[in-house]
Copies of this chain bind each other. A is one copy, B any other.
Amino acid sequence: MVVQFAKRTSEIAPFRVMEVLKTAAELESAGHRVVHFEVGEPDFTTAAPIIKAGQLALANGYTKYTQATGIEPLRLAISAHYKTMGVSVAPEQICVTSGASAGLMMLSALLLNPQDELLITDPGYPCNEVFARTVGATPVRIPTSSNNRFQPVWEDLEAAWSAHTKGALLASPANPTGTMLEAEVLKHLAAQIRQRDGALILDEIYQGLVSEAPYPTGLSVTSDLFVLNSFSKFFGMTGWRLGWIVVPHAAIEGITKLAQNLFISPSTPAQYAALAAFEPEAMAIHESRAEIFRQRQALLMNGLKDLGFSIPVAPDGAFYLYVDVSHTRMKSSEFCHWLLTKHFVAVTPGEDFGDQDAQRYVRFAFTTDEDSIALGLQRLEQAMTELDVEDS
């Protein structure tokens, strides 16, 4: 077969973290204990009440397709969840999706014609640009600076806004930096984008995993948003593949047609299981895990700073630290390789998240327990000592 693959396939860079994961697995096969700071999902399995609800759903035979936009009780539960944040979202505005990935696909298909441009942040979630390319559109990376906590201000977007620009995809809290957009900035961005008949997509998949959030959801700041959310992070349901989007009323018809045609329906057992995710018993577990992430963040951040690493922005949420390793005089990919193969500590190079200063930064994910974090810090201390020796 000599069929040419579509241009977009050659534009997708492989994830560097895959190389890290592969090397880590090889080292573990050889008997080494590796400390994992590279993994972008919570180390907790799904909370017991959700597991139980999933098992019950299966026992009840909930194994057929549902309505494309999700079962009514779940959309009501999500709507009620927004109510606890002081925001009114009609159940019809909510489309339950097969993970935030499916939500991003639907929003891309809804909003972007081929040739349209979508502004995304650099650094940012690496898959964002692939969704834009999949619908034939062009992602445009907006460099952000540590001075603005790696979030764009309007001037950054304005400088990149062209006749082809259809909108922007931002995240709050963001990956890999964990920072949130300030409320005033978000409001201003939304107003400016609206003025240009553009669309603002806000990724809130780390909602709830925050320390002191300036606002509970972007929807409490402006209604001019398409919101992306997920049961993966705060609710601990990564492998179930379930998320949701919130769309303005005008977009309900289009999103419904796309959901019907492109996905048929989200996973039925997952939807019934997710109903339990909002019950008090499960919410208490989610909250206690969020607290554990906050404690780990403090432990890791202080430990890294004590070792001389610079962390230009303290995260507001998520479970990542974006750490400057330039004082090691290594590029981040070299640093990652060295740290893993010599000291058995795995982190993700900045190159996975963009171009902007990417060789300066690595991402530490604190998705591993405090003992492992302590061990990782010990090994880093040892590593940095060696580095001093080598350097002298």
Interface residues of A, Cβ cutoff 8 Å to B: 1-9, 12, 14-15, 18, 41, 45-46, 51, 54-55, 58-59, 61-66, 98-99, 101-102, 105, 109-116, 126-127, 130-131, 134-136, 166-167, 194, 197-199, 224, 236-241, 248, 250-251, 254, 257-258, 260-270
Across the two chains, which residue of chain B brings its CB closest to A64?
B239
Interface contact B9-A65, CB-CB below 8 Å: no
| Contact residues in B for A116 (Cβ distance below 8 Å) | 6
Across the two chains, which residue of chain B brings its CB closest to A99?
B264
| Contact residues in B for A266 (Cβ distance below 8 Å) | 241
23 A-B interface contacts by CB (under 8 A):
A1-B194, A1-B248, A3-B111, A3-B166, A3-B167, A3-B199, A4-B197, A5-B251, A9-B254, A41-B64, A41-B65, A45-B64, A98-B102, A98-B263, A99-B263, A105-B262, A130-B262, A238-B264, A239-B267, A240-B268, A241-B266, A241-B267, A269-B269
Interface contact B198-A258, CB-CB below 8 Å: no
| Contact residues in B for A241 (Cβ distance below 8 Å) | 98, 241, 263-267
Tell which of A7, A54, A194 has the most Cβ of chain B within 10 Å.
A54
| Contact residues in B for A5 (Cβ distance below 8 Å) | 110-111, 251, 254
Interface contact B1-A224, CB-CB below 8 Å: yes
Interface contact B135-A134, CB-CB below 8 Å: yes
Determine how close the nearest CB of chain B comes to the CB of A79; give it in whole angstroms.
Answer: 19
Bound complex: CA A5 to CA B102 (Å): 18
| Contact residues in B for A199 (Cβ distance below 8 Å) | 1, 3
Determine how close the nearest CB of chain B comes to the CB of A308; give it in whole angstroms.
Answer: 33
Across the two chains, which residue of chain B brings its CB closest to A2?
B197
Bound complex: CA A269 to CA B3 (Å): 35
Q: Which of B6, B15, B61, B126 contacts A46 (CB 8 A)?
A: B61
Interface contact B265-A111, CB-CB below 8 Å: no
Interface contact A113-B63, CB-CB below 8 Å: no
Across the two chains, which residue of chain B brings its CB closest to A256?
B14
Across the two chains, which residue of chain B brings its CB closest to A9?
B254
Bound complex: CA A58 to CA B54 (Å): 8
Across the two chains, which residue of chain B brings its CB closest to A3?
B199
Interface contact A134-B262, CB-CB below 8 Å: yes
Tell which of A1, A135, A270 has the most Cβ of chain B within 10 Å.
A1
Interface contact A130-B12, CB-CB below 8 Å: no
Interface contact A6-B110, CB-CB below 8 Å: yes
Interface contact B114-A114, CB-CB below 8 Å: yes
Knowing A1-B194, A263-B99 touch, does A110 contact B9 (C-beta < 8 A)? Answer: yes
For the complex of A and B, the 6 pairs showing the least CB-CB separation, nearest first, are A136-B136, A239-B268, A45-B61, A114-B136, A130-B261, A114-B114
